[in-house]
Amino acid sequence: MREIPIVVNTPVWDVHGDDSTWPTTPEPSDRVPDPSTAGERIAVVARGLHARGWMSGTAGNVSERHSDHAVITPSGLPKGELRATDMVTIAIADSIPLHDNSLRPSAQAYIHTAIYRACGADAVVHAHPPHATALSVHELAAEVSTIRFAGYELIKALGGNRSGVVDIPAFPNHADVWRIGAEVETYLAAHPDAPPVLFIMGHGITAWGTSLAQAQDRAEGLEALCELTSLTGRRQIAVSDN
């Protein structure tokens, strides 16, 4: 199978290590968003998805873009208890936090910023809904692939350019999250018509849009589509012209 080339900068910090050394914190600028506003919107979405079982415990993450920065959920805090002041502000260019505090950004920050750089989206939601996650388990592979759905009305809810058929990219769940981010950015740059949703194999889904509401709607649409396919046993169905 063809391997997609990856070009990345060496990560400046490792979200998996407990002894990571954070880079020097830059001076705040006027463009850094007010976390009490973006943070509250993010907290509301995270708490709602936690209540639905899509962000159990500390799993899942949400972010909102503001110019060249993004506000994102922190690592290690229960999503059902998040407050507006719990969020972390990061630079979109390199995922580096812009404030020196005890909270780290979500480990998935590399994926969020890759999407922002590649697509110009304004919000990203990553969750673990059961049907979509279960479907992705059947697609485990060592490299990027796509999962095709066809004929379902719900395809329209995903926001892609083709209403009757959609090829959703699925990415290997690398232990080094920056590798997933690099593959996501490479794929989206090469496929500008890709739908604004993706699978991470055996892990969950990510959706994005021009607002948190739109990103969440698309995540819900993908989960509903996966539930339908689990009930019918078919990802592609014929649709009559009449």
Q: What digits encode the pLDDT tens for the residues 15-58?
A: 333 333 333 333 434 444 444 589 999 999 999 999 999 999 99
- 143 or 18, higher pLDDT: 143
pLDDT at res. 162: 65
Q: Give the span between the Cα atoms of 18 and 92, in whole angstroms.
A: 23
Residue type (1 letter), 128: H
Q: What is the mean pLDDT of the chain?
A: 85
Q: Which residues contact 166 (CB under 8 A, 6 or more apart)?
A: 148, 149, 150, 155, 158, 160, 195
Q: Which residues contact 212 (CB under 8 A, 6 or more apart)?
A: 41, 42, 45, 62, 64, 123, 125
Flag whether the pTM goes above 0.85: no
Q: Give the span between the Cα atoms of 153 and 156, in whole angstroms.
A: 6
pLDDT tens track for 83-95 = 999 999 999 999 9
Q: Give the span between the Cα atoms of 67 and 168, in whole angstroms.
A: 27
* 11: pLDDT strictly greater than 60: no
Answer yes or no: are the C-beta atoms of 214 and 202 closer than 8 Å: no
